[in-house]
Structure 1
């Protein structure tokens, strides 16, 4: 009997409406989001952002169309490293620390994993972009 009442209450409760953040205009990929680029729309979209403050200063990964909800995979931290940029590669293992010049083969922000090429050996490696724009190379 309790199960029947619980099901009945869930059916009568209906959907809860909340506000969803949408772009106020179409934003091309690789655009840093400003407060004027966002608007709130009354809608219930699972997985979409509801707080504009979480998006301001982030960079679009894909083109965002006006009025459509913004999802977490659509944005990310602003890029610190661009493709073909000369970067410093850091390799640390125990007490050994090696610094080398490299070329970024991708674009990425802090925490992103990108491909890089060591300019001395022409070896392609993967590394993580650090907040200062250097690349921490792993084995």
Structure 2
């Protein structure tokens, strides 16, 4: 009976958990650099808030300088910038059947889905919108 109970407990434990770790850079990485597998290594220690898998970091852009051996925090990475500062972008505002499109100048860098400030070239008014996959900016109220 005792052996059966031990076997059941051992079976409930399930397969061994995958190794947890923290992603660290293997060399200093400047901000605005897109990360590749060659830039990263997995350290065995877990760090709260840090990126846990190399696959999660590949293709992301460093928002700040990343130093060798220091854990990469999720907040230090973002989508690669699609809109650069001072780039001319197409701004679109749509509400129901009304759609207004004009050109603007990006005042910040931003990736897909991120907010960016844009200056309307005609009125010089600054508005905020979200970057689309095509590189345009959708402005909301």
Fold shared by both chains (TM-score > 0.5): yes
| C-alpha distance in structure 1 between counterparts of 2:111 and 2:46, whole Å | 30
Q: Specify every segment of 5 or more residues in structure 1 that has no aligned partner in the other structure, as ranges.
A: 1-16
Tell me whether 1:39 sits opposite 2:41 in the alignment. Answer: yes
Deviation at 1:121, TM superposition (A): 1.1
Q: Distance in 2 between matches of 1:96 and 1:19?
A: 50
How big is each residue's C-alpha offset from its partner over 1:26-71, in whole Å with a ceiling of 9 and x where there is no partner? 1000000011000111112112112100110000001100101111
2:3 is aligned to none
Q: Which residue of 2 aligns with 1:68?
A: 70
TM-score w.r.t. length of structure 1:
0.85
What is the aligned partner in structure 2 of residue 51 from structure 1? Answer: 53
**Which residue of structure 1 aligns with residue 140 of structure 2?**
138
4+ long deviations beyond 2 Å: none
| 1:125 aligned onto 2:127 | yes
Distance (Å, rounded) in 2 between the aligned partners of 1:67 and 1:32: 18
CA shift at 1:18, angstroms? 3.0
Name the TM-score, length of structure 2 as normaliser: 0.84
Structure 2: unaligned runs, 5 residues or longer = 1-18
How far apart are the structure 2 equivalents of 1:96 and 1:43?
54
Q: Distance in 2 between matches of 1:75 and 1:84?
A: 22
Q: For this pair of structures, how many residues does the alignment match? A: 123
SS where residue 44 of structure 2 aligns?
A: strand
SS where residue 75 of structure 2 aligns? helix
Measure, in 2, the Cα distance between the counterparts of 1:108 and 1:72: 17
Give runs of aligned pairs for residues 61-100 of structure 1, distance below 5 A. Answer: 61-100=63-102
> What CA RMSD, in Å, does the superposition of the two structures yield over aligned residues?
1.0
Residue in structure 2 matching 1:101, options 100, 103, 117: 103
User: Over residues 111-139 of structure 1, what are the superposed CA-to-partner deviations in whole Å (9 max), with x where a residue is unaligned?
Assistant: 11111011111111111111111000112
